[in-house]
Amino acid sequence: MPKLDPSLLSPLPPFSRLPRDQISQILDHATAKRFDAGVAIFDEGDAADRFFLLLDGYVRVVRLTPAGEQVIALHIPSGQLFGIAKALQRTTYPATAMTAVESVVLCWPSRLWDGFVTNYDGFATETYKTVGDRLGEMHNRIAEMATLHVEQRIANALLRLINQTGRKTEHGIEIDFPITRQDISEMTGTTLHTVSRLLSAWQKDGIVESRRKHIVVKDPHRLVILTDS
């Protein structure tokens, strides 16, 4: 891929506080890679020898339970860092990063992390803000699993997805990447049958439009009401 213009990255959180010359210095060490949909960029437990910036696409952060069940912990939209195990003082990746669609990433060797954090204050500030936001989201998800009914958890999951990745259409707000009912079940700790039953009921009520790997939220306010019911 051709070398990126630093001005294209300046709006992104890791670079938004950096001058153009510092962005150029960081880009000098980057390698660009393209991944097909449904590919693991790295697996849980692998040595964390690189960290990444998602330029285009969406990434699912997936973990395995002790029983071997897959859980989708987070979705990462374009413009964000991921695989930042060094920020958590880890030498291995705590989860698997799977592409939800064809994706393009920049990657750097993890040995450069400490130098970036030390030499580029804005990079450090924005990166640790990202870490804090993700930990906060994870804590919220754990609280949801412990305290909310299944219907509330699924409604919350859809609201979170349209807030993070939603695209306005004439029919409502579309989740802007392919997502299956199995994916939603793995996000919410419930069964595929329950997700299918609720989405079918919500479709009849005009709240969502759901078909294969495609969900449009037609009435977000109704979902908000469901989360409080």
Contact 203, 154 (CB under 8 A): no
Residues 182 and 1: their CA atoms lie apart, in Å, by 35
Asked if the structure places residue 142 within a domain, the reply is: no
Asked if the structure places residue 129 within a domain, the reply is: yes
> Each residue of 60-79: pLDDT tens digit?
999 988 877 888 988 998 99
Instruction: Determine the structural domain holding residue 92 and report its residue range.
Output: 6-136
Name the band, by pLDDT with cuts 50, 70 and 90, for residue 2.
Answer: low
Alpha helices in the chain (DSSP H): 6-9, 20-27, 113-119, 121-147, 150-165, 181-188, 192-204, 220-228
Asked if the structure places residue 143 within a domain, the reply is: no
Residues 205 and 203: their CA atoms lie apart, in Å, by 5
Task: Report the domain count for the chain.
Answer: 2
Q: Are residues 130 and 157 in the same domain?
A: no
* Of the candidates 102, 100, 97, the residue with the CA atom closest to the CA atom of residue 63: 97
Whichever domain contains 201, its CATH number is 1.10.10.10
Among 136, 162, 187, where does a domain finish?
A: 136
Burial label for 142, CB within 10 Å (0-12, 13-18, 19+), is: exposed
The whole model's pTM is what?
A: 0.84
Residue with tokens 């936001």: 133
Whichever domain contains 41, its CATH number is 2.60.120.10
> Each residue of 138-152: pLDDT tens digit?
888 888 888 889 999
State the chain's mean pLDDT as an integer: 91
